[in-house]
Structure 1
């Protein structure tokens, strides 16, 4: 039986007109874009699921905050409002705003990583992995094995494999591991959550070996909601208290606030109690982002962020947010289309390898399905697989990802049930002609984060 669609816990106050190009026009647009969906114009996309980062709809309270924003260069009131919100929610003494998540990594990671060092994560996302490598270090993933099988329905498929983590630390030498990163929710594994118990176990190992623990906190509220639903110890605990517990085990956090804080621009660095590290963070922030009390953001952005941090923790909103994904997943279950299950928090990750088994990893099934979704219905998505993973930084050889996903990332408070039906119908239509879908090859690529810019062509 299909899951009932959760009604929106809000009223629509403003709309933006969108149009769908006809099939012939879409064929021409994707060809002009070199078969890279990042190269499409936004106006040529009907339903934009490329990312849930910064694509959210802000509330009336946030827009009111935009008007109240204090634009003082130093010491703006909006900065102090954000700092108080951050301290209240995360329990950290030091909160540093930056303009987005990768800026947080650019500021913090070079202080903890350098050439010859390693960073270990439950799973790095693309930009985080890139900033590890830009600092001269190398990134290693230690996600639990069940995450690698999309058909397994486990409650916390985002968890770190704690045994593998300890083995890796001992193999590399603890002095060579500069950082452990817990990504919540685990984006590359399909938006899958991390349990509090897993966080405790990883923190205990980090303490044992004297390694700093950082949380990649972009989707912290969704992770907290899954904990409340699935971890017995916390079934009667508030989202805010779960969040504080989660963050208590780490030393620092980096956050793209463009996700669970429901803003269009913003990021945070949190430091629990390390004043020496904060002095270095401030120096980098001034060099890369701007003065410490605005961190590359306008006062209006700081104000909207301080409000959005709380709105993203509202349980009615989170029930609706996850409910949208469960509705889409139920429609795909009925159609026999595989995805990373159970469904994640911020998107549905279609198992492109299962849908297009004739396309090998080095012909990028996740990217092939993403192109087909645009051709079919004007839907823009992205590959989370070997195409995104790219090449080995030392050998230049194409890496083989553990998954070949096409991610449908859902912006917050943007799309309705009718849009979700268009998504499902498009995937069902593609399934019916799946055997005719061809793979792709890269004809030009930059050295890092190639999927943002690369040019591709379809194989004959």
Structure 2
């Protein structure tokens, strides 16, 4: 029997949840055009749509918000945040923005031109979208073991460095604008990247004169996995592991709504290039606001500067990842397939294995997400072919290498009993999996369609 890791905190405020019947959920899902993003949160019992901005802030963060300086320029929170950036990441320059996709919008134009390639261990949806908006093409080169969801590998998020070298030689280094290392690798199942892999990828990038940056949304969870699984790091402090990780990149983007445990916020870090930082500031002002607030209120800057440190606490990280491992352990006992081992922020259900009768163009990951809501009011999301936009050249439906349904767990929000409800719901779904039908899209936006697309069940 898998053991639950007890919370390293006590609860001092609660938010009531609404219970619904299956009949009510059927009506709600149909009204949302079978897109879980269209559901009202009040109609969701356990919300695993995302771990982005959905965490519970600490009393220290809330106290910091009350002391926030709301000056337009030069607020105290900005100075405090820049001090944290230098201390934690070892970077000379930092730029707050309102969230991760804003960081991509501001930073990526300095690296990518129309017709170029952007190579990553795996791009997540907004990164892929911004690469496409710049007229470039996103190329994923994750290790092949990431596709084997049943076999244990400590670092399934790694870049396939042999394939990377071969790809650079094939297309030419001048055709590749930037290499992005996503840590942890969300699209591969929240899987971590090893320090050795970061180091080797950086060496390849330097050899060919290609800049390397980090998508740092879940950097603390990645550091925890390195400490737990990589030889030579067991006795190192998390912050020291983080500093080494970021030493292998020249810049980073971050959605701070994940590991910094805030409801809104993002960051750009620039290691030491003043020229690059000037470009970042130049785009921040028209897109986000003046450089010392970057689209955030002063109270948000305070909460972010505190949360960056709270997310590095080793007891918190043990509990955080332990929650995901508990849910994964329950599902393993029940025979429900998922990306094994679990990632740091989510359990990625293997919808292709659970629903083999549903082809990729009928979106098994989305079908499972809808079924979870109907079964128990649980909201999850597709990380598979439905997540991918149409091929920009052919207009054809792209096929994802993995068909996942992601159960992303908000930080410091749910308890063991909630995870038992999720496990029981999936047990029931598994027993009637062959009866579940796929979906077709009736309307879609040209970019990042999964947020707003309309669907209907296949009859």
Give the TM-score of the pair, scaled to structure 2.
1.00
1:451 aligns with 2:450: yes
CA distance in 1, matches of 2:166, 2:42: 49
Shift of 1:325: 0.9
CA distance in 2, matches of 1:119, 1:144: 17
CA distance in 2, matches of 1:98, 1:227: 28
Residue 30 (structure 2) aligns with: 31
CA distance in 2, matches of 1:396, 1:171: 25
CA distance in 1, matches of 2:311, 2:44: 27
CA distance in 1, matches of 2:317, 2:307: 13
Residue 268 (structure 2) aligns with: 269
Q: Deviations over 1:116-156 (max 9, x none)?
A: 11100000001100011111111000000000110111000
CA distance in 1, matches of 2:110, 2:247: 21
SS of the equivalent of 2:305 reads helix
SS of the equivalent of 1:435 reads helix
CA RMSD of the aligned region, Å?
0.5
Residue 410 (structure 1) aligns with: 409
Residue 438 (structure 1) aligns with: 437
Residue 291 (structure 1) aligns with: 290
CA distance in 2, matches of 1:200, 1:252: 15
CA distance in 2, matches of 1:113, 1:212: 11
SS of the equivalent of 1:423 reads helix
CA distance in 2, matches of 1:350, 1:279: 43
CA distance in 2, matches of 1:46, 1:69: 33
1:302 aligns with 2:315: no
Unmatched 5+ stretches in structure 2: none
Q: Residues 363-402 of structure 1 correspond to what in structure 2 (within 5 A)? A: 363-402=362-401
Residue 162 (structure 1) aligns with: 161
Residue 10 (structure 1) aligns with: 9
Q: Residues 142-161 of structure 1 correspond to what in structure 2 (within 5 A)? A: 142-161=141-160
Shift of 1:235: 0.8
Residue 334 (structure 1) aligns with: 333
CA distance in 2, matches of 1:190, 1:395: 28
Residue 195 (structure 1) aligns with: 194
Unmatched 5+ stretches in structure 1: none
CA distance in 2, matches of 1:451, 1:160: 26
Shift of 1:110: 1.1
Q: Deviations over 1:370-391 (max 9, x none)?
A: 0000000000000000000121
CA distance in 2, matches of 1:193, 1:156: 5
1:62 aligns with 2:46: no
Shift of 1:233: 1.2
CA distance in 2, matches of 1:265, 1:327: 28
CA distance in 1, matches of 2:151, 2:124: 22
Shift of 1:395: 1.1
Shift of 1:312: 0.3
SS of the equivalent of 1:457 reads strand
- How many residue pairs get aligned? The number is 459
Shift of 1:308: 0.1
CA distance in 2, matches of 1:92, 1:135: 26
Query: Which runs of 4 or more aligned residues in structure 1 lie more than 6 Å from their structure 2 counterparts after TM superposition?
Result: none
SS of the equivalent of 1:269 reads strand
CA distance in 2, matches of 1:309, 1:236: 21
